[in-house]
Each structure stands twice: as C-alpha cells, then as structure tokens.
Amino acid sequence: MDHGIQGRTADETGASSGIGLATEHALAAEGARVVMVARNTDRLHVAAAAIDGDVSTLAADVTDPRTPDRIGSADILVNNAGTSAARPLEDLTDDEWQAQWDLHVMAPLRLMRALAPAMAERGWGRIVNVGSSSGKRASRTNSAYSVTKAAQHMLSRVFAEEYVTRGVLVNTVAPGPTESGLWTAEGGLADQTAELRGVSREDALQAARDKIPLGRFGTEEEVAAVIAFLCSERASDVVGANWSVDGGTVPLPL
C-alpha cells in the first residue's frame, strides 16, 4: 500500500531507538523526509546512519520549552518520546510525578501548539501521539506513567477536535508491552520489576506476557506500522482515535 506521503516532512521525537526508530524506518521507506529528535547525539547519529532515505537529526530534550522552535515546521508530527520506571505508588516523589507530566503532557502539548497551526494553514497535517495501554487502565508498575499517559490521550483528543475541520488529523496509538529497550534493555522494566517483586527476570517477563491475551509482547515494527498508517494519506477518515496495539490487553475499546 502506498501511504501517499512521498516528500512530506515528518518530525518525530524519541526517534533514536525502539518504537520511534522503527517508525522512522517505516516513514523513510514511504519517501517522507524524516527529522529524528532525541537527546543523545551519538545514538541519534548511529540510528540515522542505518536508515535508507532522507534523514536529518536534532539533538534536543523535548521537555525543554525552547525545543519546538528548534525543531521547525513539518507536515507530520509523531510525539513518541516517553519513558517509565517500575516504582511503587508510595515511593514516587513529587519530582518523579512532575518529570512524567513534563515528558508525556507538556512536551507533546508544546510541539502540537507550535506545529499544528502551520499545518492547518497549508490544509494538511498528521499528528500521532504515542500513549500507552497504561493510560487506558490503571497500571501499578508506575502510577505517574499511567496517569500522565491518560492525560496525554485526552490532550490528543482535544487537539483532534480543535483541528479536524482544518485538514490536520490527530490520533493516538496506545501500545501494550512492546519488546523495546524500555522493557528488555539491561536495567529496563523487566529487571526493575524482577527486583521489586523478588523474582527472576524471566519470571517478570512471563508474568507480563500472561496478562496479554495474544500471549506475547508486541514488536517495535508492529507498533510502527500502525503509527505510519495514521501518518498517511490513507488514514484520511481517522480522527481523534486511540488505537490499541497491545495484543488485546485493554478489554474495552476506549
């Protein structure tokens, strides 16, 4: 299927690894001119070098209010930067709550606020916010993650309604547990959960798999395929949706 985005400019945050990097491969393969945003310059350059297509990079922290000006205008925006850590509710500090809010709500808010008006002036735009199944039902792995992802989902819906008549289509993709570094890297969620629960890493991973009706984690490419579709011309009647890519984890079509 031709996504119809040849020559479109696509800014994506959190683009140097995991779901973001897989999305960059998918968008570049469709002929989009991708701009990869993440903090670590070396990792960005290594990731960009592996992509076949028109690729540029910007080393920036999305929680810095000056970042939207540095990123510049685009036809497509993917707000993908995000992270979590296994933290019991009673241990979460105010700073941790604030950091999750800044990353999952303020950063995508500022980027949409900066980029959506120019998309609307040109009469075409696509924005995808990468939320989480944890934003659709309470997750006790990290309540601050769960609450701020839920807020990100509503932020996405608010922008969808605001811009729908001006050619800018805003949607959310809500992955469930996905085989990216966030879960599987050394010290990632698998190791952290294992330590918190006093079980082995494999037992922690199996406990997570047991909660997924499909019986396995998603892959970065499976999530990226849905994001890329929602960035495309083909998704011309999809607005304000919140698409689960979670192997059936969240039982309600929220």
Ligand X SMILES: NC(=O)c1ccc[n+]([C@@H]2O[C@H](COP(=O)([O-])OP(=O)(O)OC[C@H]3O[C@@H](n4cnc5c(N)ncnc54)[C@H](OP(=O)(O)O)[C@@H]3O)[C@@H](O)[C@H]2O)c1
Residues that bind ligand X (CB under 6 A): 13-20, 37-40, 43, 61-63, 80-83, 103, 130, 132, 175, 177-178, 180-183
Residue 103 or 160: the one with the smaller Cβ distance to ligand X is 103
Q: Could you tell me the smallest distance in angstroms from the CB atom of residue 112 to ligand X?
A: 15
Residue 103 or 119: the one with the smaller Cβ distance to ligand X is 103
* CA angle (233 as vertex; 164, 157 as ends), nearest 5: 30
Q: Could you tell me the smallest distance in angstroms from the CB atom of residue 122 to ligand X?
A: 26
163 among known catalytic residues: no
Residue in 142, 145, 147, 193 annotated catalytic = 145
Tell how strand 33-38 and strand 9-13 pair up: parallel
Residue 121 or 241: the one with the smaller Cβ distance to ligand X is 241
Q: How many helices (H) and strands (E) does the chain have?
A: 10, 7
Contact 34, 51 (CB under 8 A): yes
Quote the CA–CA distance of 10 and 188 in Å, as a whole number.
29
Q: Where are the alpha helices (DSSP H) in the chain?
A: 18-29, 41-49, 67-71, 94-101, 107-122, 143-163, 181-184, 189-197, 201-210, 220-230
Q: Could you tell me the smallest distance in angstroms from the CB atom of residue 2 to ligand X?
A: 26
Quote the CA–CA distance of 196 and 95 in Å, as a whole number.
21
Residue 62 or 160: the one with the smaller Cβ distance to ligand X is 62
Q: Could you tell me the smallest distance in angstroms from the CB atom of residue 199 to ligand X?
A: 19
- Closest by CA to 131, choosing from 153, 106, 154, is 153
Would you name the residues annotated as active-site residues?
Answer: 145
